[in-house]
Amino acid sequence: MSIRTIGVIGAGQMGNGIAHVMALSGYDVMLNDISQQALDKATDTISRNLARQVGRGKVSEEDMNATLARIRTTMKLPDLGQTDLVIEAATERETVKQAIFEDLVPHLKPETILTSNTSSISITRLASRTDRPERFMGFHFMNPVPVMQLVELIRGIATDDATYKACHEVVKNLGKTAASAEDFPGFIVNRILMPMINEAVYTLYEGVGNVQSIDESMKLGANHPMGPLELADFIGLDTCLAIMNVLHDGLADTKYRPCPLLTKYVEAGWLGRKTQRGFYDYRGEVPVPTR
């Protein structure tokens, strides 16, 4: 099927990034959230990010205005029913995602493709709760969406070839690269990345190094652009913990046990950049390690 209209559920960091790149590539986008404040913030963020791209000469002012004109917002989930492709980018909690799909499905066109931007939850299980498991798959963007070049495409056990090909074509139209992943916990990127971050937290927990020495060691010793603890703050410690729990529960291997220190930070509400405190304190002019 030919995809021209995109519905995006969730106007947070991932959702507004997805809306941004889709509209910039010529798709008409309907962005949904349960909060008008979140929608207003998302459109403001998209405008600022596009203006930054214009300033760097990557996007023309004409294209910026056309992109913004292609994005509409709504608090009514049924409004997404007539789109060709829906990308769910809500909170990384399976019960939330299942409830969204349950509410949305009665309003969808028969041919609409449903996808989830989940970073770790079973695509097969999510698909089984809908009326179209053959037209359901994982569509996992990396953060920040306008910058990162990879999109993981995850087929559930029932996903058909036409659905995969249609989503692959969208990724190609975005100018990004698709990586096909099997439907196992964490897929490819997070199956490798999150245990590394978790091990960095264990290294901190056990006193092998402090925040600064761990991050500097990986940046200067392994040529990583960001240290693992800095990256965890950027992703969100709650998201890191949720993915580690999915890996631990789904693969039943003790090597995926979340570090108790990671759990403690999340319980304290120190979730990283979005709460101004995590492994670093961001409340001043310069981030300061918290351990």
As annotated, the active-site residues are 119, 140, 152, 190
Coil, helix or strand for 137? strand
Question: What H or E segment, with its residue span, contains residue 146?
Answer: none
Please state the three-class secondary structure of 66-108 as a single string.
HHHHCEEEECCHHHHHHCCEEEECCCCCHHHHHHHHHHHHHHC
List the one residue out of 115, 15, 114 whose CA is nearest residue 71.
15
- Amino acid type, 218: M
- Binding-site sequence positions for NAD(+): 10-15, 33, 92, 97, 119, 143, 274
- Binding-site sequence positions: 10-15, 33, 92, 97, 119, 143, 274
What value does the CA radius of gyration of the chain take, rounded to a whole number of Å?
A: 19
Distance (Å, whole) CA 228 – CA 279? 10
Distance (Å, whole) CA 134 – CA 197? 34
Tally of residues, the chain: 291
- Amino acid type, 168: H
DSSP string, 153-217: EEE-TT--HHHHHHHHHHHHHTT-EEEEE-SSTTTTHHHHHHHHHHHHHHHHHTTSS-HHHHHHH
Distance (Å, whole) CA 20 – CA 64? 10
Helix crossing, 260-268 with 237-251: angle to 10°? 140
